[in-house]
Structure 1
């Protein structure tokens, strides 16, 4: 027969009944037979409930239950702490990382999958899901590593655009997964600048509306390995983002500016506006008169306000970040070759985020124009 469980009230009443029987001169075994318990149970009850009333017995039972709950809670917290300590010290950002860590924790601590998933925040369906690897995974990973090595300052979104142009059927999520799995570093985003407004609320920036509407040009300075400085004259079309020319020389004067613009005007046509800062090569009387005779309007930014010429400043930053800061130019000729090579790659290969991750002048388009 199953053992009968007595409540605290029943135990107190039976002990009182046994006490009355014992006061009549009977023995303990005889009293135990009358209250229908064994001698061992009687002595155990006396040890636990002797001298207590019913209210005190209830309180004792409640305290025992609370003690059991507290012990279980402490054990659970200790186990959770052990699981987190056994897991990776950093954040587990992807399901695949959690999947590996949960398997490791289960082996080392001998806990259930349910408990490990609960502590580490992984759905059990996700934990049990088998990762499907396509046949071209290894080839795609190798190609992503090659592109990341070649274009060290490109992020996974730009790498995705290059792969899609090349014919790969991938999206940025898959490329990002492989990117993070291989430990490739994503370049930090540049801080966004607010729009530029005058006190009267009007925007002073003339925005390009079509091809050859507004051109921009600016100078940059770098040095060869022997410490001698050289300058670059960068000219871009603000609407198409195409880099029209990068003139490299030790010194560039106002006449050199006119010569470069003359070649571009013959090859491409005359723009309506040219935007620049207030450098002496741009504000020279010869340059301004020559442009005025051709009907080209000049847009000079406010002194000390390079953000007003944002298109060319953005281009200069890319040139500096992706080439000038990464190369050591031993001679001026080497600088000319590498900078021109980068310019062609910028126009024909490099995806531009503002153009829907397409290059400003794809190579196929240039081939059609020249044929």
Structure 2
């Protein structure tokens, strides 16, 4: 009669697992058997009976384990790729430069590998690893890029067209406007300015076309202040045809009499008055002093109240003066404001290249302009009686 078994099936399984650990640690079969307090043949028989695997089954199990590990790795990568896509899916990635920045972000923030980050973004690894020529010493446009950066620093509110005009006419460089635009965008120098929707007003007075110099001069006021909070009033006037600045008044207060005095000086300097002054309905403009001064000398056109777009040329000039001069400076006293604003208007006349003038300065255009005013009449034919 066979005696009772010394080890149960659970004990044998535990000892076999322990034997595997010891074997993996480099122990020999005899050392393993001695530690488990069994003989080597017994351990062999247990492995054959309870391991339940022959050579082919063990190989198949190994393959299954490798496939399972690979599937787990692919699943983990897929989950990481989903997380990466959530990070960069704010908008379409349309250029390699933007894709490179997205890959760098994923590597830095999510600690992804370069391979997985490029796969998530959809960028080839060779494209990511190849440095753009603009970032190498061999960049042929390095000098032009440096000039554009300096120009943007000096004129932070100018766009690429103004930079191209300065390159073409002031620097004498024959450079394509599209190339300047591309480099301007590459350097991140574009200026985002909000343009409100244009409103259409109904003008209650007939418009006169400024088809020649000294036909229509537009005048307007704007305000600023010194550091002590005291107001500064600025009067500006431009020729709508040549875009030249014709008037420079910077005072604490500008009365109608002072305005008339400066207008007379401007008329004398330009060889006579224009045909028309265009203005809004401010108290200085509708004053008796200005009415008497302009009577039988120059016509007056008042835009309808609340419609500054009907005086667009001077509004555009005031906008440039505000953004490029007033907003960039603070005035300690009135004299400083007079000097700096006067220099800006002088620079506008002799340095600012206007696209509507073929990128000539207002002074250059005014000196060579030969246009003459062509009055446009409108005759109403008498109605003929119906038969």
Q: 1:191 aligns with which of 190, 196, 209?
A: 196
* Residues 191 and 126 of structure 1: CA distance in aligned 2, closer, same or farther (over 3 Å): farther
SS of 1:246's equivalent in the other structure is strand
Match of 1:274 in 2: 277
* Alpha-carbon separation, structure 1, partners of 2:312 and 2:230: 28
Match of 1:94 in 2: 95
Q: Which runs of 5+ in 2 are unaligned?
A: 1-55, 61-71, 369-387
| More deviation, 98-107/285-294 | 98-107
Match of 1:360 in 2: 362
* Alpha-carbon separation, structure 1, partners of 2:177 and 2:130: 22
Question: Normalised by the size of structure 1, how large is the TM-score?
Answer: 0.65
Q: How does 1:136-175 map to 2 (within 5 A)?
A: 137-165=141-169, 166-175=171-180
Is 1:283 the equivalent of 2:291? no
Q: Which runs of 5+ in 1 are unaligned?
A: 1-39, 45-70, 367-371
| More deviation, 182-191/319-328 | 182-191
Question: Normalised by the size of structure 2, how large is the TM-score?
Answer: 0.62
Count how many residue pairs are aligned between Structure 1 and Structure 2: 294
Task: Deviation per CA, 1:206-234: give whole Å up to 9, x if none.
Answer: 33222211101111121112222121110
* Alpha-carbon separation, structure 2, partners of 1:238 and 1:339: 20
* Alpha-carbon separation, structure 1, partners of 2:334 and 2:112: 62
Match of 2:213 in 1: 211
* Residues 128 and 172 of structure 1: CA distance in aligned 2, closer, same or farther (over 3 Å): farther
SS of 2:285's equivalent in the other structure is helix
* Residues 337 and 288 of structure 1: CA distance in aligned 2, closer, same or farther (over 3 Å): same
Q: 2:258 aligns with which of 256, 264, 275?
A: 256
Contact 1:153 1:187 in 2 (8 A): no
Contact 1:218 1:312 in 2 (8 A): yes
Match of 2:17 in 1: none
Task: Deviation per CA, 1:100-122: give whole Å up to 9, x if none.
Answer: 65699899546499x84xx6466
Task: Deviation per CA, 1:217-253: give whole Å up to 9, x if none.
Answer: 1111211122221211101111221111221122222
* Residues 154 and 121 of structure 1: CA distance in aligned 2, closer, same or farther (over 3 Å): farther
